[in-house]
Amino acid sequence: MSGIIGRTMANRRISDLNKFLVGSRVFASRTYSSAVKEMTVRDALNSALDEEMSADPKVFVMGEEVGEYQGAYKITKGLLTKYGPQRVIDTPITEAGFTGIGVGAAYHGLRPVIEFMTFNFSMQAIDHIINSAAKSNYMSAGQISVPIVFRGPNGAAAGVGAQHSQCYAAWYGACPGLKVLAPYSSEDARGLLKAAIRDPDPVVFLENELLYGESFPISAEALDSSFSLPIGKAKIEREGKDVTITAFSKMVGYALKAAEILAKEGISAEVINLRSIRPLDRPAINASVRKTNRLVTVEEGFPQHGVGAEICASVVEESFEYLDAPIERITGADVPMPYAANLERLAVPQVEDIVRAVKRVCYRSSK
């Protein structure tokens, strides 16, 4: 009962918290060559959902407060009015229940988009995500497709404690049968969500709460209703020749900011936005390392068995002879997320952590 009361109170405060979080953080600057206007990540996700629901009557949205309240983070704003309660379905606080219903609907050819208020709550439904969705195509010898998207905010926000701050990229990225995406910019959000909804397989779509209110330049191509991005392809956000930095979600912005600082000190960093955790774009990562001869991986998740660890393994297996320095991994601390703001900052990667790691692999610093 105490858990239900706590989550109900959190629901009431969540929009105000989101506004505070967006206003209280400074995000790294970005440059795009073909941009014609700006769009927030929130609007990019909303427009992608709207366009895919308009294009395909089999697409529907289900989750807590997605309808009448228009989404805890307003990602589903306006969809209930436009598409009605049969396609924008409010649920009780029962992740296991509505996730199972969504998987069953996907078995029968519908295309559900299941929203978790935070991916931490997906643990209540992980049996359906892994055993019912991810494995069914293989176990049915290809007879059952499961075109379903599980989406919502992932990773650390600010001041929400250990049970609401975990990154699930490595958790779901380890499971065959799932595709796992983690957008950074508005263009990522639009293109990858559209691709996820159209995909015949289950997709885990990991957003970031602190990016929802961020505006990014977006190209005219990305605003077209037919636009989508390929799943499994990374993007080089900034070219460089001295070191490769891989990152995903919010950490891409931190990596870009670090690259700007490093450029002033004569270090040219190549920043790769992974976009896709599973499948991982190993060819793009290894091609970059073979050019720069150094690698720093960045992620918010725990260090053991993380996304960065998998990248390190790939590079050691395929490009070891090209490395001129040991690989550096920047991760979250190996502890549950502290609640205190000063300790929380120490528990997640910061721009200065990336700068120091790059200097170490470039033999520019002994610290």
Catalytic positions, written as ranges? 95, 164
Q: What does the alpha-carbon distance between residue 344 and residue 8 come to, in Å, rounded to a whole number?
A: 24
SS (H, E, C) 254-323: HHHHHHHHHHCCCCCEEEEECCEEECCCHHHHHHHHHHHCCEEEECCCCCCCCHHHHHHHHHHHHHHHHC
The tokens of 288 are what? 């970059």
Collapsing DSSP states into helix, strand and coil, what is residue 152?
strand
User: Pick from 57, 111, 59, 62: which is nearest to 89 by CA?
Assistant: 62
Radius of gyration of the chain (CA): 20
Q: Is the dihedral of CA 239, 240, 244, 247 positive or negative?
A: negative
Whether a cis peptide bond, with omega within 30° of 0, leads into 279 is yes
Maximum CA pair distance of the chain?
61
Q: Is the dihedral of CA 130, 134, 138, 144 positive or negative?
A: positive
Residue 263's Cβ-count burial label (10 Å; 0-12, 13-18, 19+) is: middle
Residue with tokens 């992932």: 154
Query: What is the secondary structure of 154-213 as a DSSP string?
Result: -S--SS--GGG----HHHHHTSTT-EEE---SHHHHHHHHHHHHH-SS-EEEEE-GGGTT
What does each C-alpha distance from 210 to 23, 24, 32, 67, 102 come to in angstroms?
A: 9, 10, 21, 22, 27
